[in-house]
Amino acid sequence: MYSFFTQRLSQLQQQGQFRCLTSLQHSGKWVEKCGQKMLNFSSNDYLGLASDYSLYTEFMQQQAESPQPLTSSSSRLLTGNFPIYQALEERIAQQFGRESALLFNSGYHANIGILPAVADKNTLILADKLVHASLIDGIRLCEAKFIRYRHNDMEHLAQLLAKNAPHFERLIVVTESLFSMDGDIADLPQLVRFKQQYSHLMLYVDEAHAIGAYGEKGLGMAEIFQCIPHIDFLVGTLGKAMASMGAYVVCDQLIKDYLINFMRPLIFSTALPPINIAWTHFLFGKLEELKPKRQHLAKLAQHLRDQLNQFSILPIPSQSGIVPFIIGDNQRTVDMALNLQKNGFYCLPIRPPTVPKGTARIRLSVTADMTLQEIDELILNLKSMVKNQK
């Protein structure tokens, strides 16, 4: 009976796509693997908050005075709705200047739960070709019809809307704001214009990689493009720059009420531990004053993109701190990543099917606790590798 599983796994091994869990020791921006210490260029901890000792101790002192439970023991719909959840939702809604916010256990929960709750068979979902796997899984759970538009191609989306809009009661356009593999940014203002053109169109924007790390107040790309009031489902995750766990949607009160009644992952799963919510609440309170970290991140990222563009093999699409160095060939990408690791940079190769065929890459993720000198060392390393291979 197990031979089925053995065969599928060995198939993966032959294709060089077998995954396993890597054990790493963390110490701030450094990771250690098999005794090798490396600068972590694969982190989602974009502001470097995950190991910020002063934030940690300040929070723990607060907890010593009025401790929050380590478990909620229940769904929020039953007995798990502790006051700290409401406090955080109010804080998030207030910071975004919107009516309400609703918390979830993870971004994955949010993305597999919201769309199936709101999209029925009279709904058409139009999603960017490169949206995250959690959104694809959410769409698969829907009764709605589903079309993908070419990545960030607003003309393609306009055509699809013109052709299909009259045949549906509701349209939902789904995108990430900052794309996790290309580091490029969705045209949010154009999406808002579509919403003005089609009165039955709703926008669903996933800010997983942008919340905390971009915007004057750290509220993401929607803040930068002044689109916050116009996005129906403004989703963010809390495990990346926000150095916590969970996710939220910023929305109208009506949508919040609706989700509380219809969203299954919210209704049927134990809520996050209150102490975790308190930590997120604490960090949202600090968000605005973390501006210098965001500015430093932007400066490092700009420098890395400018320098890499001078010798990159393929053009770099990035407009952010996620900077893919696209090589194309799978084996060459793996070799370069291993070489960088040997030289003290923890860089990972990203290959198809995670990215389109022929675009294998090293995904470089800059974090605000790095220095310009460290970025320059990485650039020198990459440059000499590209030179040697020519």
Q: How far apart are CA 54 and CA 51, in angstroms?
A: 9
Query: Binding residue for ligand PLP (CB under 6 A) from 130, 174, 192, 208?
Result: 208
List 46, 96, 102, 132, residue binding ligand PLP (CB under 6 A): 132
Instruction: Out of 128, 206, 232, 369, pick the active-site residue.
Output: 206
Our answer to whether residue 129 is catalytic in this structure is no
Query: Are the C-beta atoms of residues 310 and 325 closer than 8 Å to each other?
Result: no
Between 65 and 104, how does the x/- string for binding to ligand PLP read (CB under 6 A)?
A: ----------------------------------------
Residues of span 134-193 touching ligand PLP by CB under 6 A: 134, 176, 180
Of 203-211, 266-274, 325-333, 371-379, the segment contacting ligand PLP by CB under 6 A is 203-211
CB of 234 to ligand PLP, least distance (A): 13
Closer CB to ligand PLP, 138 or 349, in the complex: 138
Q: Say whether 40 is catalytic.
A: no
CB of 133 to ligand PLP, least distance (A): 8
Closer CB to ligand PLP, 126 or 382, in the complex: 126
Instruction: Give the one residue of 107, 138, 274, 317 binding ligand PLP; rule: CB under 6 A.
Output: 107
Indicate the residue among 201 and 247 with the shorter CB distance to ligand PLP: 247
Q: Which of 109, 240, 256, 281 is catalytic?
A: 240
The verdict on whether 132 is a catalytic residue reads yes
Judged by CB under 6 A, the chain residues 220 through 279 that form the site for ligand PLP are 237, 239, 247
Task: Say whether residue 209 binds ligand PLP (CB under 6 A).
Answer: yes
Give the footprint of ligand PLP on this chain (CB under 6 A).
Answer: 106-108, 111, 132, 134, 176, 180, 206, 208-209, 237, 239, 247
Catalytic residues: 44, 132, 176, 180, 206, 209, 240
